[in-house]
Amino acid sequence: MRLAEAWRVALDALRANRLRSVLTMLGVVIGVAAVVALVAIGTGTKQQIEQQVEGLGSNLLIVVPGRLEAGAAPSVSNLSLDDADAVGRIVGDRNRVAVTVASGENVRAGSRQTFTSMQGVLETTPTVFVRRLDRGAYLTRSDVNTARRVAVLGAGVATSLFGDRDPIGRQLTIGGVRFRVIGTFEPLGQSLGVDRDNEVHVPVTAAQRLLGTDRIDALAIRAPDRDRIDKLGADVVAALGERHPDTDFSAVTQQQILGVLGDILGVLTGVLAAIAGISLLVGGVGVSNIMLVSVRERTREIGLRKAVGARPRDIGLQFLLEAVLLTTIGGVLGMALGIGTALLADRLTPVPAAVTWWSLTLAFGVSAAVGILFGVVPAQRAGRLDPVVALRTE
């Protein structure tokens, strides 16, 4: 029997049992769709996070107290503005050094209030990180030196406190202390799960006074070039270690953050794909099951085909192709469903999704392989049927 003929016979058989074929395919469709959609979501999330980390600015070096190791206890910061000056001298340019002391604070303007992330910062922040103003001006060096009570609002904060009105020059209170708005940021959206539009920047000195501390939480450095970033990190950590002999410091680069996040997300994507793969496997078992039923149901047909000259391999091929058709058609439908689900999720929910060729190829290949794998046993059984017994079956 020619192969083209065998395909036609298999297709006819599937058509003859349309409902059963569709239900059998459904298992494979769901399995493949799950693999494609979940891998797309995993990949999309990873890409988004990479963009966000890179969007912070280039050649960044974040310095925090404590060791960055799994299981290490978080340290209480004992960094101060003097340390920031010392780091500025090592870098050779104090404009490349930013600091933060952050605190969640209630901010009020008139009758409206909102809970924000107050960040005490230096005037250098926009040059170290990528941060664009929408209106007004940023903090100045003199604002920092004199602990002037001025604030720059994130886009979300500005909207919730002032609506459509221009906030520049208006008064608000942070933790009960009066500040004046001098600028607003462009909207930035979420970054690593944090709403960046919910920030309020004030001079670090004013924030320290408000919080009753002389500490800062962390330092960030924008290295002059990528090649010297590691050396600079080591120098800074060493210098800070000399100033605070009983504390460890760590310097992390964006590349290191990306590496760690990438590893975590890679594992996550793998786990998602594995779970989806199991459902694909279950779909394959369903195909096998139905093929065994089909062989039993069509015993008489098999007997007749053998009587008129079908060889065992002709019969085996017919049933194997049926199984392969079920899983490949199911695979194609599943790919379409998976892509559709991923695109919808990407557009309608905050979950990012990016469909990748490798996941499509893998899902389709696996579904075809599942068809062969789970079709072989029923096909062999059909091929080996004794024609005398098969013809006698009622």
Partner 1 sequence: MSTPAIVATDVSRTYDLDGVSVPALRGVSLTVDQGDYVAIVGTSGSGKSTLMHLLGGLDRPTGGTLVIGGRDVATLSPPEMAKLRNEVIGFVFQSFHLLARTTARDNVALPLVYRGVGRRERRARAAELLERVGLGHRIDHRPNQMSGGEQQRVAIARALVTGPSVLLADEPTGNLDSVTGQSVLDLLESLNAEGVAVVLVTHDAEVAGRARRRIVMRDGLIVSADPPGAVPALSGGGS
- Asked if 297 is part of the footprint of partner 1 (rule: CB under 8 A), the reply reads no
Asked if 32 and 370 count as a contact pair (C-beta separation under 8 A), the reply is no
What are the φ/ψ torsions at residue 119 (nearest 5 degrees)? Answer: -120, 115
How far apart are alpha carbons 89 and 359 in whole angstroms? 50
| Region near partner 1 per CB under 8 A, out of 43-51, 86-94, 206-214, 301-309 | 301-309
* Vertex 240 angle, CA 239 and 242, to 5°: 65
**How near is the Cβ of 17 to partner 1 at its closest, in Å?**
10
- Asked if 350 is part of the footprint of partner 1 (rule: CB under 8 A), the reply reads no
Asked if 169 and 152 count as a contact pair (C-beta separation under 8 A), the reply is no
Q: Which is nearer to partner 1, 54 or 314 (CB)?
A: 314
| Region near partner 1 per CB under 8 A, out of 133-141, 167-175, 247-255, 381-389 | 381-389
- Asked if 310 is part of the footprint of partner 1 (rule: CB under 8 A), the reply reads yes
DSSP secondary structure string for all residues of 59-87: SEEEEEES--STTPPPPPP-EEHHHHHHH
- C-alpha distances in angstroms, 147 versus 94, 141, 306, 322, 391? 18, 10, 96, 78, 98
**How near is the Cβ of 375 to partner 1 at its closest, in Å?**
21
Choose which of 137, 271, 282, 307 interacts with partner 1 (CB under 8 A): 307
Choose which of 136, 187, 262, 312 interacts with partner 1 (CB under 8 A): 312
Bridge partners of residue 190, in order along the sequence? 195
- Asked if 28 is part of the footprint of partner 1 (rule: CB under 8 A), the reply reads no
**How near is the Cβ of 293 to partner 1 at its closest, in Å?**
17
Q: Which residue has the tokens 């270690």?
A: 241
How far apart are alpha carbons 76 and 244 in whole angstroms? 13
Q: Which is nearer to partner 1, 320 or 360 (CB)?
A: 320
Element housing 51 (H / E): helix 18-55
- Asked if 306 is part of the footprint of partner 1 (rule: CB under 8 A), the reply reads yes
DSSP-based three-state secondary structure for 199 = strand
- Asked if 178 is part of the footprint of partner 1 (rule: CB under 8 A), the reply reads no
Q: Which is nearer to partner 1, 8 or 112 (CB)?
A: 8
Write the binding mask 243 to 282 for partner 1: x where contact by CB under 8 A, - elsewhere.
Answer: ----------------------------------------
Choose which of 55, 57, 340, 387 interacts with partner 1 (CB under 8 A): 387
Q: Which residues of 55-94 are buried (b: 16+ CB within 10 A; e: fewer)?
A: ebbebbbbbbbeeeeeeeeeeebebbbebbebbbeebeee
Choose which of 260, 313, 344, 351 interacts with partner 1 (CB under 8 A): 313
Query: How many residues sit in the footprint of partner 1 (CB under 8 A)?
Result: 24
Q: Which is nearer to partner 1, 248 or 301 (CB)?
A: 301
Binding site for partner 1 (CB under 8 A): 1-2, 5, 9, 12, 16, 300-301, 303-314, 386-388, 391
